[in-house]
Amino acid sequence: MATSEDLRPLVTIVTALHPAHYVPSTTLVEFTNRSVRQMPGMMHCRQILCCDGTHPSTSARARDDYEQFKARLTDLCRKDPFFYDTHILQRPPKTNASRRNTLAYNLIQAFESGLIETPFVFLHQPDRFCSSSADSLGIVRVLRNEPRVSIIHLMENNLILGVDPEAEWYRAKRLTESNDFGLPLWKTGSYTDHEHFGRVSFYLDVVFPYTAAHGHPPHHCTMESAVPEPQEGIYLYLPPDRPLPHVNLGTKDHWTPDEPGGKGILASDLKLLRHFGIDPSSYCEGLVDIAIGAEEQDEYEAFLIAHRSQMRLTPDQQPASPCLD
């Protein structure tokens, strides 16, 4: 069965937000959300923004910043085409000492809201950039046609350490070129909350029952720790001849010494994307708080050289930066 070029009838985007270091700026969220929407078929999908509550110890200034951040999101939902049919859900402020409500507790509000009317979701976190070359149409086609497939992760850069699907975290095995699914997939039994397309039924029947039983109170736990391994039907998407499907941005591991770090898109974020074969320029248009400088590429090449010994490369990874040859 063919998959339409418009995934709106099939996929709901669910994005988890919390009082992170970048608020009240929405630049990082706008930048990465553009990347999600520019994957094939995703522009007109419904999106749900799940905003976690503030911590009891949060300062008045930080609470004000978070409220300003959510107000800016509301404005984006009204005016920005990259927030088409986007709905904001909000958890109340926390009343206990939990650092966060955890992703499971934050996300379940989307599944209980009645706003998800599709068989599949795309789980997104605001510091994750998705490549427009990812075959989202093909991934959803596999989910539609193959009941044995529940989750297809977009393989990530693994925090500058390179791409290694066989590492302990995933323990994945690549399927042969002529696999039944017609996609470059690796089979893994490990569930993670990293960017993925998944069945709504997998969350309702597998993930949330485990987080309800594992967490005290229910759902106050990491989903990875609650869902036992191995799980059948979980795969990684990693093409050998395209840019990396998704890249983790905004972490201190990527910052260069002169970057203030914190609010917008850092120069090192842009350089990291270029390192993995992605041109970020089209996602920056009209955004403020983006650090771009003439020397950024040379500066980040030096950073990559310094971390060369930590990089784990597989034959499937895109060619490394020339400075690593």
Res 30 pLDDT > 80: yes
- Greater pLDDT, 99 or 95: 95
- Domains, in order of start, for the chain: 11-237 (3.90.550.10), 250-316 (no CATH)
CA distances from 41 to 12, 141, 183, 260 (A): 11, 12, 17, 36
Please give the average per-residue pLDDT across 126-153, as a whole number.
95
Say if residue 121's pLDDT is above 70.
Answer: yes
Higher pLDDT, 101 or 107: 107
Q: What is the pLDDT of residues 68-95, one digit of tens each?
A: 999 999 999 999 999 999 999 998 877 6
Q: How confident is the model at residue 303 (pLDDT cuts 50, 70, 90)?
A: low
Q: Is the pLDDT of residue 229 over 60?
A: yes
Average per-residue pLDDT for the chain: 81
- Residue 290 above 60 pLDDT? yes
3-state class of 51 per DSSP?
Answer: strand
- Tell me the CA end-to-end span of the chain in Å, nearest whole number: 44
> Is the predicted pLDDT of residue 294 greater than 90, yes or no?
no
Q: How confident is the model at residue 175 (pLDDT cuts 50, 70, 90)?
A: confident
The predicted pLDDT at position 321 comes to 41
pLDDT digits (tens, 9 = 90+) for 37-55: 999 999 999 999 999 888 8
Cα distances (Å, whole numbers) of residue 42 to 9, 25, 26, 38, 76: 10, 24, 20, 7, 17
Could you tell me where the DSSP H helices lie in the chain? 27-37, 60-79, 102-112, 136-145, 200-202, 208-214, 223-226, 267-275, 281-284, 296-306
According to the model, what pLDDT value does residue 308 have? 54
pLDDT reported for residue 17: 92
How open is the CA angle 270-276-280, to the nearest 5 degrees? 35
Q: Token pair of 130, please?
A: 């998705």
Q: Which residue has the higher pLDDT, 252 or 178?
A: 178
Tokens of 112: 């209980």
pLDDT of residue 101: 56
- If you search the block for the tokens 């069965």, which residue do you land on? 1
Bond from prior residue into 9 cis (ω within 30 degrees of 0): no
At 25, the pLDDT band (50, 70, 90 cuts) reads: confident
Residue type, 146: E
The pLDDT, as a whole number, for residue 202 is 97
pLDDT category at 266 given cuts 50, 70, 90 is confident
